[in-house]
Amino acid sequence: MIKSFFIVNKQKFLFVFMMLVLAVLIVPIQGREDINPPLDITYNPYTTSLSSSTGTATPIQESSLVNYQAKSSPTLELLSSRKTQADTTLSQKTVYLTFDDGPSKLTSEVLDILKESNIHATFFVLGEQVKRFPELVTRVIDEGHALGNHSYNHNYEELYKGFSPFWSQIKQTEQAIAAITGSHTSLVRAPGGTAGHFDDTYFKLLKEGGYQVVDWNVDSGDSKRRGVPARDIIKDATTPINSDQVVVLMHDGNGHEETVKSLPKIISYYKEKGYKFEVLTPELPNLESFQFKVTKSARALQRPQPSEEWIVTNVLPNAELFSHGKRLVMEIGRMETAFKQGEYRISDGKIMVPLRTMMDKIGVNVRWDVNKKLAIIDTGLKSLQISVATDDWTIVNKNTISQTMNIPVQMNGNTLWVPLREILNATGHNPISIKVSDEEWRIRTL
């Protein structure tokens, strides 16, 4: 009787195990699907039709225009999708210590303790505190810790009356951080956590904007009321959970002296248990497992929904901020050329390239008329003249002007930056397909 019970369960176990193996094998293949993103993303991505004659890119269906709310953008879904391959480091016990509401005068004490223990942590900062203590933000980065965005002022009433005020606080804090560190952080933690606050719109639009939302799975309880004693914080922060991946919520804002006091004991607990200490990064494949589920009460709040136009203007182009690790590869005829990370940039939702480098790559000569402030590109029979003063692009055909367009360019130092789509079109290399992967944009042109 007992024996047969075990045999039946063994078979069940084997079946479940095989299904899991299959799932692991199938998921990465699906994640590699080609999509067809627009080149300039201020252009409505749902009407862009760079229809492919190669069959490699998936055309965006007209119907997705109508059904936008129900269907998220394929471009941005891919941009925000994380690497799906199994990460071997996940098999190891890992603890992510996180500190919210700082920086404050307590942050330097936290940093000292982390330094002595030779470990790193993640700081979810408030924009208004960042402005007050910029030197602590610098220290956090210099000492190898990670920064996340915890809104500007932590005011629940403002943040949770609708998505757009939440969004503007995220942007405000992001800019305050970028002004100090020079880079944008895509990690976001909701003040008070997402539970009871975030509805599906908050989760969906933040993801489409290129952000990763992280809650926690161990709460140190240090903010459940004022002055929680260190011994209680230690107890709650070291409560075992059913996971090897632990994200501990703590606070380094004003009034959290007891958290600082408890920190050495919390660290030694996890060290003794064999955990390694890591910082949260956008690349972690299991980040979403640290998100709370949308609650019924949050769904029932019926807050104003942002308009489709607002989303297309604000949220969708935003994901580009976090995608410039990609190479930009162009296939022009049989030739292939690429811009590395940092050699191109995104401005107002457009991919911009330096004109001279771009022309060098495709073997076309550029002259510079100093008096008229004109860049002159000779492409055999025609020449293209770009005026830095007026943004006019004039195509001259055997001394007669055949076409003039007004396309904004940017002059920085001696470098003239031009939008990629327009320069390709103007030089007769119209884009015919675009593919995007975790590593690169790949553009095929005529």
Instruction: List the catalytic residues.
Output: 100, 251
Q: Which stretch binds Zn ion (CB under 5 A): 45-53, 185-193, 200-208, 231-239?
A: 185-193
Residue nearest to Zn ion (CB): 100
Q: How far is CA 251 from CA 77, 119, 263, in A?
A: 32, 17, 11
Q: At 38, is the secondary structure helix, strand, or coil?
A: coil
Near Zn ion by CB under 5 A: residue from 100, 236, 258, 278? 100
Measured CA to CA, the distance from residue 203 to residue 290 in angstroms comes to 13
Measured CA to CA, the distance from residue 446 to residue 428 in angstroms comes to 7
Would you tell me how many other CB atoms lie within 10 Å of the CB of residue 268? Answer: 12
Q: Quick one: 126 or 294, whose CB is closer to Zn ion?
A: 126
Considering only residues 364-393, where is the footprint of Zn ion by CB under 5 A? none
Q: Quick one: 100 or 252, whose CB is closer to Zn ion?
A: 100
Measured CA to CA, the distance from residue 252 to residue 260 in angstroms comes to 8
Task: Judge contact between 68 and 308, C-beta under 8 A.
Answer: yes
Q: Is 102 in the site for Zn ion (CB under 5 A)?
A: no
Q: Quick one: 73 or 185, whose CB is closer to Zn ion?
A: 185
Q: Is 252 in the site for Zn ion (CB under 5 A)?
A: no
Q: Is 236 in the site for Zn ion (CB under 5 A)?
A: no
Q: Which stretch binds Zn ion (CB under 5 A): 3-11, 191-199, 200-208, 356-364?
A: 191-199
Q: Running DSSP on this structure, what letter comes out for residue 256?
A: -
> Position 109: which residue type?
E
Q: Which stretch binds Zn ion (CB under 5 A): 84-92, 99-107, 290-298, 408-416?
A: 99-107
Task: Please list the residues that pair with 134 across neighbouring strands.
Answer: none
Smallest gap, in angstroms, from Cβ of residue 101 to Zn ion?
4
Q: Which stretch binds Zn ion (CB under 5 A): 39-47, 95-103, 321-329, 401-409?
A: 95-103
- The enclosing H or E element of 297 equals helix 296-299
Own/partner pairs, 82-91, CB within 8 angstroms, 24+ separation: 82/282, 82/283, 82/284, 82/285, 82/287, 83/283, 83/285, 83/438, 84/27, 84/28, 84/31, 84/285, 85/28, 85/285, 86/24, 87/284, 87/285, 87/286, 90/244, 90/245, 90/285, 90/286, 91/244
Smallest gap, in angstroms, from Cβ of residue 216 to Zn ion?
11
Q: Is 191 in the site for Zn ion (CB under 5 A)?
A: yes
Q: Is 101 in the site for Zn ion (CB under 5 A)?
A: yes
Measured CA to CA, the distance from residue 351 to residue 344 in angstroms comes to 7
Smallest gap, in angstroms, from Cβ of residue 123 to Zn ion?
11
Size of the site for Zn ion (CB under 5 A): 3
Q: Is 199 in the site for Zn ion (CB under 5 A)?
A: no
Q: Is 103 in the site for Zn ion (CB under 5 A)?
A: no
Q: Is 222 in the site for Zn ion (CB under 5 A)?
A: no
Q: Quick one: 37 or 191, whose CB is closer to Zn ion?
A: 191
Which residues form the interface with Zn ion (CB under 5 A)? Answer: 100-101, 191
